[in-house]
């Protein structure tokens, strides 16, 4: 008798509070302070009251002088409001990477690369003291019950050498990054002896924006000013627009953030429950059969494109940053106003999605007349319109099962996903050995992972487009390499707090107990072994790219960018 | 596939380290200790934690606290001992090698074993039997050979000078080889190889190899054709490919041709007669330097036939008559056969010479007197014939006494006179008789029966000129040209009649149709090819008939 | 990336063409070049050295020396090519004599083990994937131990729960040995399912003598039996995938040693003669 399907309640808005210890008294205090004091609670619905939002989606963070609040390049999902004290934003030149906990990117020369043959340490996870040295200009402190905070030792010097801006109480920062999941553009640190910041996570910010006009306008302005224009400039179809036309478009463009839950904890549990069911729980952004209201441009996160087939939905594709939805239908309607078509596919959120919407009217009047005919998509044929006449694999680049597998497990996030073809893999472990040889004889991935049909996605860092692991690192140890974009952990500054380890939904990060050259475990003052987070770094220090891919004798292993289904489909067809 | 088994669960928080040589011995039980083995395979297990000393305010000694991590069970209930050591020691294990390390070890042992095998094989008592690529031919395999060659032991050094050297010696010898190991161009150079040191060693016993033909332009080493170490028994004959390395090579033969033109023809006249009469053919224009590929296809026609040479012999003989005439019956009812005259020599290879005494006389006796047919003129010497004819009375007397048995003197005289009278009735005078005996060939002179015998029996004797070439001489007896019957026609190739005993003579030799003495009855090459070809099935290798080694001219002359 | 079929096509056509060329060249020139076997020998030695370089490349995975896939494809087809070159070198005559016999035997064993490895590397992964139960080879002992402990625990709980020892006895008699270590390696290699079927049949037979609770326990034990069998299957096949190299690599070194000795002996004894 098969086991009954485990049920799982739809994740509630506040199953996991941001900070469970926020008290009602603190919330009352917040409500008495601008901008919350100016907000009208009656504008908020009952199930999403202002009080509830403040209680569950915010927390107070206290910083001492020199402590770094956010680092440039970090991924964060929170905005900050200065409650008291002063905060400095470093405008230019940027703080040196070592102050931010990063490591200068160094590629080993050919001799050092070859020397790995004999010079690799004999003990696993062993480090020389020189490898663990941190920049002397920063220090770490941890107050009771709080996270570790990194502080700059010499604040006056920083202020001398870098141009900074001062933020006073009542000022917001970090909203764009929180809403659009872009990396932080500036580093900020506390200047006054004690600074108190309110950290609001993005869901709270979004809901506050929805129901408070002033906040919405404020953030709208900032967003348009800082993020939107550069975003629009990157879109190919807007290349032909004059500046004035672009201004018109910008003025009427809307943006939105969708999704009710975070990547890691909740969705992991979701995936383990009945497959297919959760699709109905994902919020719909635009539905098949509806009138196309505007072109939807995905800026961050992912959305699922599906089509009705039989009694169910068939996932055709997923869209990531930079891809559009609804464009073909709008162009078709613009060219054939007498034979309008509705939206052909349904667009659903996967986890978290941030989009820009350009209304149809703007498209028809301002944009489309200026786009050259050859750049326009082709017209839709009537057959494509009818759901009863569609062939089963119309528009699909890879099989439905595989697509479902990728989408359910959110593997499309990866730009360097390790995919292993189990029909060719002889389990020889050459890949693991190559990885180890390139990392001081320590492998940095596990040759195991979810399997679908003949494909295994191994537990190796996928170097995601949207790296959730980077959210919340207190020391900046995990960062994106400036050159190649690989997500890298700097072992010298990693304090082993397991934030990234817990966040990563793909089991790509593993904590290791480090040793010295003789093999004895390195311990802290309390005799607890020192942990470091480790993961694949795409062999950023080696020559020639990831060693695993190169080492597989049977062409079974590949580091593939799942953002581009074409390359994946080609590899599958081998 | 829904029928697939789900993957078993295991602790995926730890990396799997297949690159490590040593694995904790407890991994097989599922509980590897976190410390692990060291690089040399020694277990380093001590205790499960390192207790931390907690010194609260106001305390002197403080207490030790268990620091075991949550992954391994968290703080243990008992806690450390008062002296600070952990109360939960980890029992030491015996680390095992990983599969890769095992393979490395196995590889090393196999290599060591191989090296040992090589040492024992090459350095031990079985060295020669170990190295030899194949058994030696019968002649070279004996102890006698080894002794004669002046070497000790197994005789390898008779040919291979460095056979008994140690590794250093072998290496030096290898590098000193000509062409050497790294002289690829020399190794690739085509053509029959020149003599190497190995071949020089053959010459210690086998002298005088190198003479093939005077116009040969390049040396040909022994080992190029004679392959040793191909198994016991006699050494195999050289293959066609060996011969064709020159004889199918146009440039080599062209060079030989050029050289041959510069040499006097006598140089080529070196074959020993060995008691036979060789039919000498003049050296052809191309000097035997035609390029060809095989016997059956384009081997040149035998020169005797190719040049349409004729037998210059003066003895008039008609094979066709002798073989087909019903009048010639060696036995009643039987015709004359080849073997009635042509008898094999002792070895069976060739045939005995044709002589008058053995082969012609029984039919062609020189009877001149019809009344006394068994009184015959002696054969062989014209002077003797003349003397005989001029002493007829004595001859008759001798005849009467010996043969007829007349003993009385008067009887004998009567007999003689009677015979002389009868003879005188037939022939006018002694001169006439003499003339008839010498010069009549029954075709030119009066067709008469000199002896007048009947149909069967010994044939008529018209006169010497019937068979021989007779010329008048001014003084003395007429000159009868001595016939020269060649009994070896195929001079440059060997032929063994005894091997062809199954084949009828007329199958190859067209004697039945030969009416002239000048006919050469040597069969054409095409006749041989009927059998000696791939289609015919009989071996057609060069070495069936030819030998590369022809004797030196000096020794050839001496043998003659 | 070219498709596997195309890769195989290129490799095979290269192999056939070059082999045919070698055979033809040998036929044409062996008469005219009496020392051809020296040259073919050097070519064979050079090719074998190149083939054995693959092991060296595997020790340098961090140096970008072309992908291992390309090396393996070259290794396979060049390796198959050595067959033609070997046949040409020995002029199609099997060697007599001890030394050359061992040398030839070593070559043949290396060649055959390599070919066996190729066949096995292509056939077994599909079988593993179809069966499912993907597991890391080094973790198998600990998983086996876990399964054993769980099975034993189940057998014992049934004892304490039901107060009847049927299931426990059955476990002790039929299953204890099965869970002890890796079993049926040979049969798994031959893809024979009878051991599992036999055990499951025995379990089904036992079911009629059990009550509801015991059946539930036995059901779970049956699940464990299936898992253990899948584990054994993986153990057997993954072991084969690793163990064939225990033949191929050591014999290659032996071959190289013998070849070096062969080169020295040949030149020392022949002195360069044909």
Averaged pLDDT score across all residues of chain A: 83
Instruction: Report, in this order, helix, strand and coil percent for chain B, each rounded to 5.
Output: 35, 5, 60
Contact assessment for residue A460 and residue A536, using Cβ atoms and an 8 Å cutoff? yes
Determine how many CB atoms are found less than 10 A away from the CB of residue B456: 10
Cβ of C67 and A116 within 8 Å? no
Picking from C42, C129, C265, the nearest residue to B131 by CB comes out as: C265
For tokens 């907690």, name the residue. B54
Pick the last residue of a domain from A191, A209, A227. A209
Pick the last residue of a domain from A367, A399, A431. A399
Contact assessment for residue A476 and residue A533, using Cβ atoms and an 8 Å cutoff? no
Residues A469 and A350 both lie in one domain? no
Cβ of B192 and C34 within 8 Å? yes
Please indicate, yes or no, if residue A425 is contained in any of the structural domains. yes
Cβ of C133 and B181 within 8 Å? no
Spatial distance between the Cα atoms of A99 and A101, rounded to a whole number of angstroms = 5
Residue of C nearest to A431 (CA): C61
pLDDT of residue C23: 95
ipTM: 0.92
What is the nearest CA distance from C3 to chain B, expressed in angstroms?
Answer: 24
Cβ of C62 and A543 within 8 Å? yes
DSSP H or E run through A314: strand A312-319
Contact assessment for residue B224 and residue C274, using Cβ atoms and an 8 Å cutoff? yes
Residues A175 and A275 both lie in one domain? no
User: For residue C124, how far is the Cα from the chain centroid?
Assistant: 9
Please indicate, yes or no, if residue A443 is contained in any of the structural domains. yes
Spatial distance between the Cα atoms of B386 and B390, rounded to a whole number of angstroms = 6
Spatial distance between the Cα atoms of C227 and C131, rounded to a whole number of angstroms = 11
Please indicate, yes or no, if residue A441 is contained in any of the structural domains. yes
Spatial distance between the Cα atoms of B176 and C271, rounded to a whole number of angstroms = 7
Residue B304: which of B494, B485, B524 has the closest Cα?
B524
What are the phi and psi torsion angles at B54 (to 5°)? -105, 120
Neighbours, chain B (3 or more CB pairs < 8 A) = A, C
Residues A282 and A163 both lie in one domain? no
What are the phi and psi torsion angles at A274 (to 5°)? -55, 130
3-state secondary structure C13-77: HHHHHHHHHHHHHHHHHCCCCCCHHHHHHHHHHHHHHHHHHHHHHHCCCCCCCCCHHHHHHHHHH
Residues A257 and A174 both lie in one domain? no
Residue A432: which of C64, B18, C134, C65 has the closest Cα?
B18
Residues A458 and A489 both lie in one domain? yes
Per DSSP, chain A holds a count of helices (H) and strands (E) of 18, 24
Return the residue in C27, C34, C227, C249 with the most chain B beta carbons within 10 A, the one to mutate for interface testing: C34
Contact assessment for residue C269 and residue C106, using Cβ atoms and an 8 Å cutoff? no
Q: What is the CATH number of the domain that holds A534?
A: 3.30.70.20
Angle CA A170–A174–A177, to nearest 5 = 155
Cβ of B7 and C134 within 8 Å? yes
pLDDT of residue A7: 45
- Enumerate chain C positions whose Cβ falls within 8 A of a Cβ in A: 1-4, 58-64, 67-69, 71-72, 121, 124-126, 128-129, 132, 134, 136-137, 238, 241-242
Contact assessment for residue B105 and residue C249, using Cβ atoms and an 8 Å cutoff? no
Instruction: State which of A297-301, A389-393, B275-279, C92-96 shows the largest mean pLDDT.
Output: C92-96
Residue numbers in A near C124 (CB within 8 A): 426
pLDDT of residue B458: 62
- A573 to each of A397, A398, A421, C3, how far by Cα in Å? 11, 9, 11, 7
Cβ of B118 and C33 within 8 Å? no
pLDDT of residue B209: 63
Helix axes C4-29, C68-89, angle to 10 degrees: 20
Residues A187 and A236 both lie in one domain? no
Domain range enclosing A463 = 410-573
Cβ of B12 and A459 within 8 Å? yes
Residues A436 and A382 both lie in one domain? no
* Residue B216 C-beta-side C-alpha neighbours within 13 Å: 18
State the Cα torsion B441-B445-B449-B454 to the nearest 10°: 50
3-state secondary structure B499-515: HHCCCCHHHHCCHHHCC
10-residue mean pLDDT profile of chain C (274 residues): values are 90 96 90 83 95 92 89 95 95 90 96 96 94 91 91 86 82 89 90 91 89 88 93 95 95 96 90 72
Residue C229: which of C178, C190, C173, C186 has the closest Cα?
C178
**Percent over 90 (pLDDT), chain A:** 15
pLDDT of residue C204: 92
Residue of A nearest to C135 (CA): A448
Please indicate, yes or no, if residue A122 is contained in any of the structural domains. no
The structure's pTM equals: 0.82
Cβ of C99 and B130 within 8 Å? yes
Q: Kindly state whether B14 is in contact with chain A, defined as any CB-CB distance less than 8 angstroms.
A: yes
Residue of C nearest to B177 (CA): C271
Residues A391 and A424 both lie in one domain? no
Tell me the β-bridge partners of A141.
A149
pLDDT of residue A384: 57
The tens digit of pLDDT for each residue in B22-34 reads 988 888 777 788 8
Residues A339 and A463 both lie in one domain? no
**Percent over 70 (pLDDT), chain A:** 90
Average pLDDT for A46-73: 86
Contact assessment for residue B15 and residue A442, using Cβ atoms and an 8 Å cutoff? yes
Cβ of B13 and A511 within 8 Å? yes
Picking from A422, A554, A573, the nearest residue to C3 by CB comes out as: A573
Residue C1 in tokens:
């990336």
Q: Kindly state whether A3 is in contact with chain B, defined as any CB-CB distance less than 8 angstroms.
A: no
Residues A219 and A200 both lie in one domain? no
Spatial distance between the Cα atoms of A324 and A305, rounded to a whole number of angstroms = 11
Spatial distance between the Cα atoms of B510 and B525, rounded to a whole number of angstroms = 13
Please indicate, yes or no, if residue A231 is contained in any of the structural domains. yes
Picking from B19, B38, B50, the nearest residue to A523 by CB comes out as: B50
Q: What is the CATH number of the domain that holds A336?
A: 2.60.120.10
Pick the last residue of a domain from A399, A428, A462. A399
Q: Answer yes or no: is pLDDT of A11 > 60.
A: no
Q: Kindly state whether B34 is in contact with chain A, defined as any CB-CB distance less than 8 angstroms.
A: yes
The tens digit of pLDDT for each residue in A479-531 reads 888 777 889 999 888 888 888 898 888 989 999 999 988 888 888 877 788 89
Residues A389 and A436 both lie in one domain? no
Picking from B17, B50, B51, the nearest residue to A124 by CB comes out as: B17
Please indicate, yes or no, if residue A276 is contained in any of the structural domains. yes
What is the nearest CA distance from A509 to chain B, expressed in angstroms?
Answer: 9
Please indicate, yes or no, if residue A4 is contained in any of the structural domains. no
pLDDT of residue A442: 93
What is the nearest CA distance from C253 to chain B, expressed in angstroms?
Answer: 6
Cβ of C267 and B3 within 8 Å? no
| Three-class DSSP category at A410 | coil
Q: Answer yes or no: is pLDDT of A289 > 90.
A: no
Residue A426 in tokens:
């002889």
The domain spans of chain C are 4-131+245-270, 137-240
Spatial distance between the Cα atoms of C122 and C115, rounded to a whole number of angstroms = 11
Of the two residues B387 and A203, the one the predictor is more confident about is B387
What is the nearest CA distance from B101 to chain A, expressed in angstroms?
Answer: 13
Instruction: State which of A362-371, A390-399, B441-450, C197-206 shows the largest mean pLDDT.
Output: C197-206
- C226 to each of A272, B517, B523, C126, C169, how far by Cα in Å? 23, 104, 88, 20, 19
Residues A373 and A493 both lie in one domain? no
DSSP string, B249-304: -HHHHHHHHHHHHHS-GGGG-----TTS-B-PPPPPTTTT----S-HHHHPPPPHH
* Residue A238 C-beta-side C-alpha neighbours within 13 Å: 24
pLDDT of residue B453: 43
Dihedral sign, Cα of residue A367, residue A373, residue A374, residue A377: positive
Report the number of distinct structural domains present in chain A: 3
What is the nearest CA distance from A434 to chain C, expressed in angstroms?
Answer: 5
What is the nearest CA distance from C190 to chain A, expressed in angstroms?
Answer: 18
Residue numbers in B near C146 (CB within 8 A): 8, 30
Residue numbers in C near A429 (CB within 8 A): 137
Instruction: State which of A5-14, A17-26, A265-274 shows the largest mean pLDDT.
Output: A17-26
Q: A273-277, A350-354, B327-331, B366-370: which range is least confident on average?
A: A273-277
pLDDT of residue B280: 84
Q: Which residues of C223-241 are buried (b: 16+ CB within 10 A; e: fewer)?
A: ebbebbbbbbbbbbbbbbb
Spatial distance between the Cα atoms of B393 and B430, rounded to a whole number of angstroms = 12
What are the phi and psi torsion angles at A451 (to 5°)? -120, 135
pLDDT of residue B112: 97
Residue numbers in A near C238 (CB within 8 A): 427
What is the nearest CA distance from A401 to chain B, expressed in angstroms?
Answer: 10
Angle CA C199–C200–C202, to nearest 5 = 65
Average pLDDT for A342-367: 87
- Full pLDDT tens readout for chain B, 560 residues: 346 788 888 888 889 998 888 988 888 777 788 888 888 888 888 887 778 777 777 777 777 888 777 777 777 878 888 887 888 888 888 889 999 999 999 999 999 999 999 999 888 888 888 888 888 888 888 888 888 777 777 778 888 888 888 888 888 888 888 777 888 887 777 556 677 778 888 888 887 666 688 888 877 778 888 888 888 888 888 888 888 878 888 888 888 888 888 888 887 777 777 788 888 888 887 778 888 888 888 898 998 888 898 999 999 888 998 888 877 777 777 888 888 889 988 888 888 888 999 888 888 888 877 778 788 889 988 899 989 988 988 988 888 888 888 888 888 898 889 888 888 887 888 888 888 888 877 655 444 444 444 444 566 677 888 889 999 888 888 899 999 998 888 888 888 899 898 889 988 999 999 999 999 999 999 999 999 999 989 988 888 888 887 766 555 444 44
What is the nearest CA distance from B148 to chain A, expressed in angstroms?
Answer: 60
Picking from A451, A510, A527, the nearest residue to B50 by CB comes out as: A527
């Amino acid at each position: 008798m098969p086991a009954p399907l485990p049920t799982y309640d739809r994740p509630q808005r506040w199953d996991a509070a941001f900070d469970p210890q926020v008290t009602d008294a603190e919330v009352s205090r917040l409500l008495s302070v601008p901008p919350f004091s100016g907000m009208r609670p009656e504008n908020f619905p009952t199930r999403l009251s202002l009080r509830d939002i403040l209680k569950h989606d915010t927390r107070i963070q206290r910083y001492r002088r020199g402590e770094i609040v956010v680092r440039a390049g970090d991924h964060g999902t929170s905005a900050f409001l200065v409650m008291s004290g002063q905060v400095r934003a470093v405008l230019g030149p940027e703080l040196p990477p070592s102050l931010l906990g990063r490591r200068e990117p160094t590629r080993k020369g050919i001799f050092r690369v070859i020397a790995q043959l004999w010079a690799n340490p004999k003990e696993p996870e062993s480090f020389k003291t020189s490898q663990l040295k941190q920049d002397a200009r920063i220090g770490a402190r941890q107050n009771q019950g709080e996270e570790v905070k990194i502080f700059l030792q010499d604040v006056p010097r920083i202020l001398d050498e870098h141009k900074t801006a001062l933020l006073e109480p009542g000022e917001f920062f970090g909203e764009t990054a929180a809403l659009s999941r872009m990396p932080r553009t500036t580093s900020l640190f506390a200047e006054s002896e004690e600074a108190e910041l309110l950290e609001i996570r993005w869901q709270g910010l979004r809901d506050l924006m929805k129901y408070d006009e002033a906040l919405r306008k404020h953030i709208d302005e900032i967003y348009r000013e800082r993020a939107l224009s550069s975003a629009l400039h990157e879109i190919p179809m807007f290349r032909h627009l004059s500046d004035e036309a672009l201004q018109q478009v910008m003025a009427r463009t809307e943006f939105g953030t969708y999704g009710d839950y975070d990547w890691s904890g909740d969705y992991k549990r979701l995936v383990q429950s009945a497959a297919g069911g959760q699709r109905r729980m994902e919020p719909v952004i635009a539905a098949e059969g509806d009138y196309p209201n505007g072109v939807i441009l995905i800026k961050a996160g992912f959305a699922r494109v599906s089509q009705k087939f039989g009694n169910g939905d068939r996932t055709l594709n997923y869209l990531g940053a930079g891809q559009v939805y609804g464009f073909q239908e709008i162009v078709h309607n613009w060219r054939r106003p007498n034979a309008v078509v509705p939206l052909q596919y349904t667009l659903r959120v996967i986890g978290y999605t941030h989009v820009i919407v350009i209304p149809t009217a703007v498209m028809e009047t301002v944009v489309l007349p200026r786009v050259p005919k050859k750049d326009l998509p082709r017209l839709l044929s009537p057959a494509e319109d009818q759901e009863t006449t569609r062939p089963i694999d119309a528009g699909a680049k890879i099989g439905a099962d595989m697509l479902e597998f990728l989408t359910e497990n959110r593997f499309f996030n990866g730009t360097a996903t390790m995919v292993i073809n189990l029909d060719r893999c002889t389990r020889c472990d050459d890949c693991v050995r190559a990885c180890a040889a390139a990392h001081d004889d320590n492998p940095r991935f596990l040759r195991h992972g979810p399997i679908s049909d003949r494909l295994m996605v191994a537990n190796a860092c996928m170097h995601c487009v949207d790296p959730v692991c980077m959210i919340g690192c207190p020391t900046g140890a995990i960062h994106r390499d400036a050159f190649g974009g690989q997500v890298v952990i700097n072992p010298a500054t990693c304090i082993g707090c397991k934030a990234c380890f817990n966040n990563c939904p793909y089991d790509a990060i593993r904590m290791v107990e480090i040793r010295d050259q003789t093999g004895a475990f390195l311990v802290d003052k309390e005799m607890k072994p020192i942990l470091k987070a480790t993961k694949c770094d795409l062999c950023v220090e080696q020559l020639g790219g990831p060693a695993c891919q190169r080492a597989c004798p049977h062409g079974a292993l590949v580091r593939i960018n799942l953002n581009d289904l074409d390359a994946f489909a080609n590899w599958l067809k081998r | 596939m829904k029928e697939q088994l789900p993957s078993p669960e295991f602790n995926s928080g730890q990396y799997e380290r297949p690159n490590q040589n040593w694995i904790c011995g407890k991994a097989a039980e599922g509980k590897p200790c976190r410390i692990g083995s060291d690089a040399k395979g020694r277990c380093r297990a001590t205790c499960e934690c390192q207790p931390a000393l907690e010194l609260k305010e106001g305390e002197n000694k403080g207490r030790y606290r268990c620091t075991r991590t949550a992954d391994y069970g968290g703080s243990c209930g008992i806690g450390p001992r008062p002296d600070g050591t952990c109360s939960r020691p980890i029992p030491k294990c015996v680390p095992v090698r990983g599969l890769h390390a095992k393979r490395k070890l196995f590889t090393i042992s196999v290599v060591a074993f191989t090296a040992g095998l090589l040492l024992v094989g090459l350095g031990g008592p079985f060295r020669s039997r170990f190295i030899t690529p194949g058994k030696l031919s019968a002649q070279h395999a004996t102890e006698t050979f080894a002794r004669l060659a002046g070497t000790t032991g197994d005789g390898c050094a008779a040919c291979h000078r460095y056979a008994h050297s140690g590794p250093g010696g072998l290496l030096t010898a290898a590098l000193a080889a000509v062409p050497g190991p790294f002289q690829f161009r020399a190794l690739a150079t085509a053509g029959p190889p020149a003599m190497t040191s190995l071949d020089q060693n053959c010459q210690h016993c086998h002298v005088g190899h190198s003479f093939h033909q005077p116009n040969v332009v390049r040396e040909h080493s022994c080992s190029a054709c004679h392959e040793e170490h191909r198994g016991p028994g006699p050494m195999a004959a050289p293959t066609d490919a060996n011969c064709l390395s020159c004889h199918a090579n146009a440039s080599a033969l062209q060079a030989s041709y050029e050289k041959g033109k510069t040499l006097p023809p006598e140089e080529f006249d070196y074959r020993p007669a060995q008691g036979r009469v060789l039919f000498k053919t003049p050296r052809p224009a191309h000097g035997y330097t035609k390029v060809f590929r095989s016997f059956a296809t384009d081997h040149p026609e035998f020169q005797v036939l190719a040049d349409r040479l004729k037998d210059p012999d003066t003895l008039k003989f008609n094979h066709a008559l002798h073989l087909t005439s019903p009048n010639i019956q060696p036995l009643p009812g039987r015709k004359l056969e080849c073997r009635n005259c042509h008898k094999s020599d002792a070895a069976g290879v060739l045939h005995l010479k044709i002589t008058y005494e053995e082969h012609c006389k029984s039919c062609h006796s020189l009877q001149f007197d019809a009344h006394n047919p068994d009184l015959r003129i002696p054969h062989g010497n014209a002077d003797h014939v003349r003397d005989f004819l001029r002493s007829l009375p004595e001859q008759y007397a001798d005849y009467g006494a010996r043969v007829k048995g007349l003993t009385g003197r008067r009887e004998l005289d009567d007999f003689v006179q009677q015979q002389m009278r009868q003879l005188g009735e037939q022939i006018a005078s002694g001169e006439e008789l003499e003339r008839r005996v010498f010069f009549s060939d029954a075709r030119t002179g009066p067709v008469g029966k000199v002896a007048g015998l009947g149909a069967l029996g010994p044939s008529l004797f018209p006169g010497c000129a019937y068979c021989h070439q007779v010329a008048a001489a001014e003084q003395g007896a007429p000159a009868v040209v001595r016939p020269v019957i060649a009994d070896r026609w195929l001079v440059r190739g060997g032929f063994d009649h005894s091997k062809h005993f199954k084949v009828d003579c007329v199958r190859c030799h067209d004697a039945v149709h030969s009416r002239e003495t000048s006919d050469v009855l040597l069969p054409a090459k095409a006749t041989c090819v009927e059998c000696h070809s791939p289609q015919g099935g009989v071996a057609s290798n060069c070495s069936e008939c030819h030998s590369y080694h022809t004797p030196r001219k000096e020794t050839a002359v001496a043998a003659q | 990336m070219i498709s596997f079929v195309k890769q195989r096509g290129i490799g095979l056509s290269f192999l056939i063409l070059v082999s045919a060329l070698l055979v033809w060249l040998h036929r044409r020139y062996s008469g005219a070049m009496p020392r051809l076997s020296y040259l073919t020998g050097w070519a064979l030695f050079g090719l074998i050295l190149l083939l054995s370089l693959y092991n060296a490349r595997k020790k340098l995975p961090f140096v970008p020396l072309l992908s291992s896939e390309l090396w393996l494809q070259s290794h396979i087809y060049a390796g198959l090519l050595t067959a033609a070159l070997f046949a040409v070198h020995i002029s199609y005559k099997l060697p007599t004599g001890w030394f050359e016999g061992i040398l030839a035997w070593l070559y043949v064993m290396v060649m055959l083990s390599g070919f066996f490895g190729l066949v096995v590397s292509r056939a077994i992964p599909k079988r593993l994937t179809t069966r499912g139960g993907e597991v890391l080879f080094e973790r198998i002992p600990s998983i086996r131990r876990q399964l054993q402990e769980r099975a034993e625990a189940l057998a014992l709980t049934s004892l304490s729960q039901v107060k009847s020892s049927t299931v426990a006895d059955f476990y002790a008699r039929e299953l204890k040995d099965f869970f002890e270590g890796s079993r049926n390696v040979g049969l798994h290699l031959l893809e024979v399912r009878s051991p599992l079927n036999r055990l499951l049949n025995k379990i089904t037979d036992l079911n009629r003598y059990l009550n509801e609770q015991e059946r539930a326990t036995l059901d779970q034990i049956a699940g464990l039996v299936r898992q253990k069998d899948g584990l054994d299957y993986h153990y057997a096949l993954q072991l084969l995938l690793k163990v064939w190299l225990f033949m191929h690599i050591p014999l290659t070194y032996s071959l190289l040693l013998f070849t070096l000795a062969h080169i020295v002996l040949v030149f020392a004894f022949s002195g360069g003669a044909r």
